[in-house]
Amino acid sequence: MSLSAASFEYVRQVLRERTGHQLGDDKVYLVETRLFPLARQCGFDSVDELVQHLRWGPRSELLQQVLDAMTISETSFFRDGRPFDDLREVVLPELIRRRAGERRLHIWSAACASGQEPYSLALLVCAGFPELDGWTVHLLASDQSRAMLARARRGWFSTLEVGRGVPADVLERFFRRVDDGWQVGREVRRLVEFLPINLVEPWPALPRMDLVLLRNVLIYFDLPTKQRVLAQVRRVLRPDGYLLLGGAETTHNIDDAFEAVSAGATTVYRLRRPNGDAAPD
């Protein structure tokens, strides 16, 4: 395998334009290893041939496959553990108190990969908050990858995948055995609506959100892209809503309209109030 400089530049450019992802100069090997299986699957002898086809032939479906192969979709149920404990113990109870009048909650998992993150939220709601019975709980889950969304909608996970984070009692209560794996039960799946949304392209009209999870995706963007995405999050987040980022992500020095607050052991972000007041309880 040896990828030409022109092919590498082309992949790097479409990846940046279409997903906001940055690839360093040293990532030639990464492009080759990620795209080689796709090249073979499409009948090409090399990644160069695949890229030639992408450049000069009809490309929309192949382009999406290339973007999917190049983006990292690593995820797991209740990823990192503690943030989900703190959502259950601190953030959700507080939001439920504040929304008791409207009896409505809007939550968005904004780069949901194969669905473990929004289903973790839905499982929290189903297992931990019987008082939400009769409320409208809308869980939006989105990703740029339609292949990921198709997987996520089915709600089927291998034994290995559920083994990464689903407690045994939750598995028994909310999943059923299907095809050597596990499918999330209908009463949990029906809470989640999956939509394709590319964070670096114009967003569709969205309801104002009480809680946005934007985890483990900002890290792939350059600073101006992070700033654009966070500026849009500001517009969809309710003034007293919360933003949860991945463990290696922050709004600090990126968008100072957000301030960090502690929710148990987890840092969450909310919109800074002009006079510096705390959020109403």
Query: Of 58-66, 88-96, 138-146, 235-243, which segment contacts ligand SAM by CB under 6 A?
Result: 138-146
Site string for ligand SAM, 106-135 (x = CB under 6 A): -----xxx---x------------------
Query: Per-residue x/- marks for ligand SAM, 77-96, CB under 6 A?
Result: --x-----------------
Which DSSP string do the residues of 165-224 spell out, in sequence order?
T--HHHHHHHEEEETTEEEE-HHHHTTEEEEE--TTSPPPP-PPEEEEEE-SSGGGB-HH
One-letter amino acid at 266 equals T
Decide: 63 and 14 in contact? Cβ < 8 Å.
yes
How far is the CA of 60 from the CAs of 6, 111, 216, in angstroms? 20, 21, 26
Q: Select 70 or 96, whichever has its Cβ closest to ligand SAM.
A: 70
What are 141's strand-pairing partners?
109, 194
Among 3, 7, 15, 20, binds ligand SAM (CB under 6 A): 20
Position among 48, 86, 143, 249 found at the interface with ligand SAM (CB under 6 A): 143
The candidate with the shortest Cα–Cα distance to 145, out of 206, 232, 69, 246, is: 69
215 scored as a contact of ligand SAM (CB under 6 A):
yes
**Per CB under 6 A, does 70 bind ligand SAM?**
no
Nearer to ligand SAM, 20 or 241 (CB): 20
Longest Cα–Cα distance of the chain, Å, equals: 62
For ligand SAM, what does the binding mask look like between residues 146 and 185, x meaning CB under 6 A? --x-------------------------------------
For residue 95, how many other CB atoms are within 10 A of its CB? 20
46 vs 142 by CB, closer to ligand SAM: 142
Backbone angles phi, psi at 55, to 5 degrees: -75, -35
Binding segment for ligand SAM among 33-41, 74-82, 100-108, 173-181 (CB under 6 A)? Answer: 74-82
Q: How far is CA 226 from CA 216, 221, 230, 251, 256, in A?
A: 12, 6, 6, 9, 12
Count of positions on this chain that bind ligand SAM (CB under 6 A): 23
Only segment of 1-9, 91-99, 144-152, 267-275 that touches ligand SAM (CB under 6 A): 144-152
CA distance 171 to 174: 6
216 binds ligand SAM per the rule CB under 6 A: yes
Measured CA to CA, the distance from residue 233 to residue 243 in angstroms comes to 8
CB of 113 to ligand SAM, least distance (A): 3
* Least spacing, CB of residue 114 vs ligand SAM, in Å: 7
* Per-residue x/- track, 232-271, ligand SAM (CB under 6 A): --------------x-------------------------
Would you say 103 and 135 are in contact if contact means Cβ atoms under 8 Å apart? yes
* Residues that bind ligand SAM in the complex, under the rule CB under 6 A: 19-20, 71-75, 79, 111-113, 117, 143-145, 148, 198-200, 215-217, 246
